[in-house]
A = this chain, B = another copy of it.
Amino acid sequence: MRPGERPEIASLPLFRDMQDEQRDRIFSGSFLQVFPPQLTLFEQGQRPDFLHVLVDGLVELYASGAGRDTTMRVVEPVSSFILAAVVTDMPYLMSARTLTSSRILLVPAAKIREVVRHDHAFMDATMRELAMAYRDMVRALTDMKLRQSAERLGNLLLQQEQRQGGTGTVKLRAEKRLLASLLGMTPENLSRAFGVLAAHGVRTDGANVTLADREALEALVRPDAISD
């Protein structure tokens, strides 16, 4: 592990408040591995072997079914993923693959379940993490059910703009085809959705998007009132 990385992982909400001794147990049983781009980390249906913590790179979680695939989440560093499968010891509902070369901390699932049992603060953090993940999913589902495609895109841009510092500018981290899948539409329709938003102050230049008229965009997409 590189200098500075371990503190960064340890300061994640999930690991922050647990006993030092228990955290040591978790980390000592884990190993950091580097994966090339486009590598499948695991597939849905498998029993969870490891809790994954993305340290560097980019990972896609996707689900297959009815003969098609759809992107469920793009994981950015530093954050953990597939916690729910690990604590319940039930099969993954999603598959994962690296998008870019990625450094991932692999924590044996059995160790997580064991430490959860014994460290109260860690269980508390796990509970909260799951509650927040649940809320994210509720929002994603209502978004899909209530909004049409251009509105979903506009909303995502507004959220990303905030998360990236509120500078009126958004940098798209993944390919547009992936963004389309995440938003539940085709790449073709994503292009057209950008076209629709152009009339509302959204300028796009490759992966750089500028929100010139936040007011107009918000009027169009009616963003979520509750954002955590």
Contacts and interface: CB of A to CB of B under 8 A. Distances in A.
A168 to B, nearest CB: 24
Interface in A65-121: 65-68, 70, 72, 83-85, 87-88, 90-91, 93-94, 116-117, 120
A163 B127 CA distance: 28
A40 interface: no
Interface in A191-228: 221-222, 224-226, 228
B66 A146 contact: yes
A31 interface: no
Nearest to A71: B145
A12 interface: no
Given A45-B225, A88-B132, A72 B138 contact: yes
Number of this chain's copies in the complex? 2
28 contacts: A44-B226, A45-B225, A45-B226, A63-B145, A65-B147, A65-B224, A66-B151, A67-B222, A70-B146, A72-B141, A83-B131, A84-B134, A87-B128, A90-B135, A91-B226, A94-B138, A116-B127, A120-B123, A123-B123, A123-B124, A126-B127, A130-B134, A134-B134, A134-B137, A137-B141, A144-B144, A144-B145, A145-B184
Given A88-B131, A93-B135, A137-B138, 5 more contacts: A63-B142, A87-B128, A88-B132, A127-B127, A134-B137
6 closest residue pairs by CB, A with B? A137-B137, A130-B130, A63-B142, A84-B131, A127-B127, A70-B145
